[in-house]
């Protein structure tokens, strides 16, 4: 019996039935079929507990949402103290929490001028695209093939057709895609002179974290400026110290005109996202401050939490821990690859963002399942199922990191076995 | 608006301290397999750095705390650098030991993360000392200074940490809490992320360390008795006593609290002490001193670590400006006189017993107040020395030397130490002068007595290694960039790894 006071379920199976009946049958059956039928119940630190009681170490972190782990006690204290004073606030009016948080964010990126708030990443991407269109008076948006920026109207149009066609939301004449790591392809589109912006993640997460070639991102940014387009950096997964610096673009010597962040900005406990814009792009806020409005965007509670998240990420001890975690996994994964070179063929890494390549078109699905069985939750890249997204949090400690590698090693024979059977079926 | 915040803010200092412990655990992971040469290289660099700034920090400590004497604190700081290193240089706590006769191999296992308290009385010497012990034993250390000495302690720790890292130590090996508080210390002491506590400080703190649930090395306070036997060269003994009691204004727990002799010898001792620079109090001075030093709330803390003339002035006693210590006289060795309690200031209570038997009985009782600590014996009567040592509930009896320095290993062959183990008598787990060996346990591989075993054929090289440069982080800036490891680098890493695997088998 799972009695939560407000509702209760007899068993995990009963919950799954209800979830399929009232919520989303497709998702329920998908995870069942994948062999990872997780229903997250309790959670704390970097641990998840499935309703069955099974404990999993979280290396998915919802793309960095749980950068500090689940229900980090300091962040929970911040939110609780906020609830004694604030609520979401009134989005029409200036507010102390919003002003303070906006300042804090802008100070992390001195060439930026304003922070515009949303509640989710896609919303921040909407703001970014609208801002670029306002600033250039052009409509076209370029993104990369297999790029991913969310599921709302404009953001989804930048993405894979799997997510647009089904809703008739593709807009081929306004949204163009070019291959990743191909600056020439980008230039061919920019040359046409009608492009408002190029939007790209510093390291495309959902595509399995392929690393940009040396100079690629800088060239893209320069090309945008050459042809009068804006360069938008999507830092939803690569921001917040996950690549070792506050924003991924900082590590590549970029100065995007606009960048967006979300996910971990709310510490995993209160949704908030932000779009930062430079002075030129931010002019619409002067022309018509209410041109973009969002009731839950920039809620004061979210601002309070976000403010503290940034402060925590700037602490020298956290910065140092990130270096330790990054170094540890660089070394450990190299060892692991040497031990399991028959299936494990590559590591893409920057900071605590890792993509692990397996030598099979669905390799990461099998590895994800094998890890799940060994108490580790890491998700495959939905747009490249050879690659497992492996995303340690910024305050993971040495014992947990070691435990992850021990479990990883133990999971490899099972992964090998799963891959063999799926090869036979294929 | 008034000064108070409208919202409650989580304790920033506490979370910073917790993160320091995590960082230390990372450092310990890499450091625990360093070989002896690498350890000595780091220890050497830290000793050198500490020695260079010994006087500056002594000055800073006196300025910040108001306790002690710069010149003497300098000596104490220095003791914890090269002297300490020389003492332990040949104690190899890194290599496995093979005992062929008993067919036992011992592999050293460092504790991991040491959480160490630094008291206000020795705020820099303790930082030096505990950091050196951690380095020599291949542990990481997080120091927590006394709130009244936090600036000098933390700066000294940073200075040593920089030297250690420059010499190849992992980043985070030596850290110091910047804003200590009692709740913070209790929280960290109870953390399952630390492996051992080195507690020096007030009794309450030491008890808290032992109650934390974590292994602890704690030491209690002292109340050393110096017995001057009639067989002693009384002038030499008096000089020792005055040198010891005036050393750093008696702010070491090893300093003598009471000088005890026999009635027949009391006049000699008084005369010799006076010659050596002591002011012998008459009855009225003794009463003034007692009234000044013990207020309704116990020992008057403003007197701690102050000079004899400063205290005399406050107590209303006229003394010669050259006076180095004050000697109140309690003619009969009774139990209840406050002057027989511990005094961390240059005040040494003189008393005399009717015979040696009474002397021992009294000394024993006094020592129960500083149980397990130290005592001094002046004289040449070795039978009495043994009887005294057997009777006293202490773990050090220093002979014909100043106790302050002697028990801490300055002028004896005792290990140089700022943690004087007070053992079971003093409710501590350790009865010796604490050294790096107390921070290491050993895994013992034991073969059957009657089963043949070729211990020489066992390769133990995998238990330690010459450190790789990987884990050091030269700067701790919020903007530090994390390593980007691309495929080529990874391949290099793999090759290195494979090579080292092959090398070790
Ligand atoms: C890079 C990137 N941008 C945008 C989004 C959309 O964020 P949200 O789901 O909060 O709308 C995501 C979500 O996964 C993302 O990974």
Confidence of residue B503 (pLDDT cuts 50, 70, 90): very low
pLDDT tens digits for B25-72?
999 999 999 999 999 999 999 999 999 999 999 999 999 999 999 999
Quick one: DSSP state of residue A147?
-
pLDDT at B202: 80
User: Active site includes B253?
Assistant: yes
Q: What is the mean pLDDT of residues B118-143?
A: 96
> What does the angle CA B482 – CA B483 – CA B487 come to, to the nearest 5 degrees?
150
CB pairs under 8 A between A and B: 127
Minimal CA–CA distance to B116: which of B214, B12, B31?
B214
Return the SS3 of B315.
helix
Q: Which two tokens stand for residue B437?
A: 């060996």
Return the SS3 of B168.
coil
Q: Which residue has the tokens 């953001």?
A: A155
Rounded distance between C-alpha atoms, residue B404 and residue B256, angstroms: 7
Confidence of residue A425 (pLDDT cuts 50, 70, 90): low
Q: Where are the alpha helices (DSSP H) in B53-196?
A: 54-65, 70-78, 84-88, 125-136, 150-166, 182-189
Ligand 1 center to A75 CA (angstroms): 22
Least confident of A266-280, B370-384, B462-476: B462-476
Q: What is the dihedral of CA A399, A405, A406, A409, to 10 degrees?
A: 180
Average pLDDT over chain A reads 95
Starting at the edge strand that comes first in sequence, how are the strands of the sheet with B97-99 ordered? B97-99, B104-110, B440-446
Q: Using alpha carbons, list the distances in angstroms from residue B113 to A138, A337, B169, B419, B472.
A: 59, 31, 15, 18, 17
The distance of B16 to chain A (nearest Cα, Å) reads: 7
Ligand 1 pocket residue status of A265, Cβ below 6 Å: no
- Is the confidence at residue B457, as pLDDT, over 90? no
Query: Is A211–B25 a contact, with Cβ atoms under 8 angstroms apart?
Result: no
Q: Which residue has the tokens 């310990």?
A: B28
Q: Return the CA Rg of chain B.
A: 25
Query: Is A324–B26 a contact, with Cβ atoms under 8 angstroms apart?
Result: yes
Least confident of A74-83, A280-289, B212-221: B212-221
pLDDT at B479: 34
Ligand 1 center to A285 CA (angstroms): 24
Query: Is B476–A338 a contact, with Cβ atoms under 8 angstroms apart?
Result: no
Q: What is the architecture of the domain spanning B12-219+435-452?
A: 3-Layer(aba) Sandwich (3.40)
Query: Can you give B434-481 as a three-state secondary structure string?
Result: CCHHHHEEEEEEECCCCCCCCHHHCCCHHHCECCCCCCCCCCCCCCCC
β-pairing, A353-358 vs B278-280, is unpaired
- Calculate what percentage of chain B has a pLDDT beyond 90: 80
Taking a C-beta distance cutoff of 8 angstroms, is the pair B9, B113 a contact?
no
Burial B349-383 (b: 16+ CB within 10 A, else e): bbbbbeebebbbebbbebbebbbbbbbbbbbeeee
- B7 contacts: CB under 8 Å, gap ≥ 6: A81, A82, A84, A85, A304
Q: Which two tokens stand for residue B5?
A: 């915040």
Confidence of residue B205 (pLDDT cuts 50, 70, 90): confident
> What structural domains and CATH numbers belong to chain A?
15-72+316-425 (3.90.1150.10), 73-313 (3.40.640.10)
Return the SS3 of B331.
coil
The pTM for the full model equals: 0.90
Q: Which residue in B152, B176, B240, B253 is the catalytic one?
A: B253
Q: Would you call B282 exposed, middle or buried from its count of C-beta atoms within 10 A (0-12, 13-18, 19+)?
A: exposed
Rounded distance between C-alpha atoms, residue A117 and residue A101, angstroms: 10
The distance of B24 to chain A (nearest Cα, Å) reads: 10
- Is the confidence at residue B469, as pLDDT, over 70? no
- Is the confidence at residue B253, as pLDDT, over 70? yes
Ligand 1, atom nearest to A238 Cα: 1
Domains of chain B by residue range: 12-219+435-452, 224-407
- Is the confidence at residue B489, as pLDDT, over 80? no
CATH class name, domain B224-407: alpha beta
Query: Is B10–A395 a contact, with Cβ atoms under 8 angstroms apart?
Result: no
Q: What is the mean pLDDT of residues A267-272?
A: 98
Run of H or E including A234: strand A230-234
Ligand 1 center to B19 CA (angstroms): 29
Return the SS3 of A232.
strand
Residues on chain B touching A337 (C-beta within 8 angstroms): 490, 494
Rounded distance between C-alpha atoms, residue B208 and residue B144, angstroms: 14
Confidence of residue B259 (pLDDT cuts 50, 70, 90): very high
- Is the confidence at residue B143, as pLDDT, over 60? yes
DSSP per-residue string spanning B342-355: --SSSB-EEEEESS
- Is the confidence at residue A104, as pLDDT, over 90? yes
- Is the confidence at residue B15, as pLDDT, over 60? yes
């Amino acid at each position: 019996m799972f009695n939560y006071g407000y509702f209760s379920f007899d068993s995990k199976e009963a919950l799954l039935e209800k979830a399929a009946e009232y919520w989303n049958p497709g998702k329920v059956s998908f995870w069942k079929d994948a062999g990872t039928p997780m229903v997250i119940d309790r959670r704390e630190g970097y641990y998840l507990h499935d309703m069955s009681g099974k404990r999993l170490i979280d290396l998915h972190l919802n793309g960095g949402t749980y950068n500090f782990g689940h229900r980090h006690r300091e962040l929970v204290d911040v939110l609780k103290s906020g609830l004694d004073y604030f609520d979401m606030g009134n989005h029409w009016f200036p507010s102390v929490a919003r002003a303070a948080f906006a300042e804090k964010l802008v100070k992390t990126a001195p060439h930026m001028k304003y922070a515009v708030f949303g509640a989710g990443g896609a919303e921040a991407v909407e703001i970014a695209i609208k801002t670029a269109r306002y600033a250039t008076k052009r409509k076209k948006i370029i993104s990369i093939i297999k790029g991913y920026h969310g599921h709302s109207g404009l953001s989804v149009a930048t993405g894979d057709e799997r997510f647009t066609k089904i809703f008739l939301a593709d807009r081929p004449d306004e949204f163009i895609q070019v291959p990743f790591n191909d600056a020439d392809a980008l230039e061919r589109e920019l040359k046409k002179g009608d492009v408002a912006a190029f939007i790209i993640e510093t390291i495309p997460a959902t595509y399995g974290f392929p690393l940009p070639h040396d100079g690629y991102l800088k060239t893209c940014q320069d090309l945008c400026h050459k042809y009068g387009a804006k360069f938008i950096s999507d830092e939803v997964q690569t921001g917040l110290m996950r690549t070792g610096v506050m924003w991924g673009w900082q590590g590549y010597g970029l100065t995007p005109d606009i960048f967006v962040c979300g996910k971990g900005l709310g510490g995993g406990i209160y949704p908030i996202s932000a779009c930062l814009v430079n002075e030129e792009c931010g002019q619409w806020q002067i022309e018509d401050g209410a041109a973009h409005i969002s009731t839950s965007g920039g809620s004061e509670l979210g601002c309070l939490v976000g403010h503290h998240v940034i402060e925590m990420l700037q602490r020298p001890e956290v910065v140092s821990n990130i270096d330790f975690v990054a170094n540890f996994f660089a070394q450990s994964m190299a060892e692991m690859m040497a031990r399991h070179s028959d299936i494990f063929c590559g590591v893409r890494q920057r900071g605590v963002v890792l993509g692990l390549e397996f030598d099979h078109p669905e390799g990461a699905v099998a590895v994800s399942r094998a890890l799940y069985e060994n108490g580790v939750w890491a998700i495959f890249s939905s747009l490249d199922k050879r690659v497992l997204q492996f995303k340690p949090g910024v305050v993971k400690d040495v014992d947990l990191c070691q435990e992850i590698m021990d479990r990883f090693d133990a999971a490899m024979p099972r992964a090998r076995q799963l891959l063999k059977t799926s090869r036979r079926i294929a | 608006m008034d000064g108070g915040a409208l919202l409650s803010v989580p304790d920033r200092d506490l979370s910073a301290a917790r993160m320091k412990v995590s960082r230390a655990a990372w450092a310990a992971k890499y450091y625990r397999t360093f070989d002896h040469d690498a350890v000595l290289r780091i220890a050497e660099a830290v000793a050198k750095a500490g020695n260079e700034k010994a006087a500056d920090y002594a000055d800073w400590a006196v300025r910040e705390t108001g306790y002690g004497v710069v010149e003497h604190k300098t000596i104490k700081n220095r003791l914890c650098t090269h002297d300490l290193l020389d003492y332990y240089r040949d104690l190899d706590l890194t290599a496995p030991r093979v005992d062929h006769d008993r067919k036992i191999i011992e592999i050293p296992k460092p504790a991991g993360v040491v959480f160490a308290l630094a008291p206000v009385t020795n705020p820099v010497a303790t930082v030096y000392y505990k950091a050196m012990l951690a380095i020599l034993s291949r542990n990481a250390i997080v120091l927590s200074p006394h709130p009244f000495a936090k600036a000098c302690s933390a700066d000294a720790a940073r200075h040593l940490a920089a030297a250690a890292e420059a010499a190849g130590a992992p980043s985070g090996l030596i850290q110091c809490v910047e804003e200590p508080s009692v709740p913070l210390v209790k929280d960290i002491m109870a953390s399952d992320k630390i492996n051992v506590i080195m507690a020096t400080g007030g009794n309450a703190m030491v008890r808290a360390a032992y109650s934390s649930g974590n292994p602890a090395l704690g030491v209690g306070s002292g109340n050393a008795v110096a017995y001057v036997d009639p067989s002693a060269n009384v002038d030499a003994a008096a000089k020792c006593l005055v040198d010891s009691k005036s050393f750093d204004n008696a702010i070491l727990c090893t300093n003598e609290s009471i000088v005890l002799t026999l009635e027949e010898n009391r006049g000699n001792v008084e005369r010799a002490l006076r010659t050596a620079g002591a002011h012998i109090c008459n009855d009225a001075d003794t009463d003034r001193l007692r009234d000044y030093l013990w207020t309704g709330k116990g020992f008057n803390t403003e007197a701690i670590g102050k000079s004899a003339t400063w205290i005399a002035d406050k107590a209303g006693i006229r003394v010669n400006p050259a006076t180095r210590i004050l000697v109140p006289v309690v003619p009969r060795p009774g139990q209840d006189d406050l002057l027989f309690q511990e005094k961390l200031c240059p005040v040494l209570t003189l008393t005399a017993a009717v015979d040696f038997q009474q002397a021992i009985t009294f000394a024993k009782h006094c020592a129960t107040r500083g149980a397990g600590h130290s005592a001094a014996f002046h004289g040449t009567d070795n039978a009495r020395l043994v009887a005294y040592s057997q009777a006293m509930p202490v773990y050090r009896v220093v002979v014909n030397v100043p106790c302050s320095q002697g028990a801490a290993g300055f002028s004896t062959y005792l290990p140089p130490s700022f943690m004087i183990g007070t053992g079971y008598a003093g409710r501590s787990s350790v009865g010796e002068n604490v050294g790096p060996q107390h921070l290491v346990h050993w895994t013992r591989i034991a073969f059957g007595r009657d089963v043949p075993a070729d211990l020489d054929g066992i390769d133990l090289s995998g238990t330690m290694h010459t450190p790789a440069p990987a884990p050091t982080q030269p700067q701790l800036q919020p903007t530090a960039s994390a390593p980007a490891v691309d495929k080529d680098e990874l391949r290099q890493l793999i090759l290195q790894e494979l090579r080292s695997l092959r090398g070790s088998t």
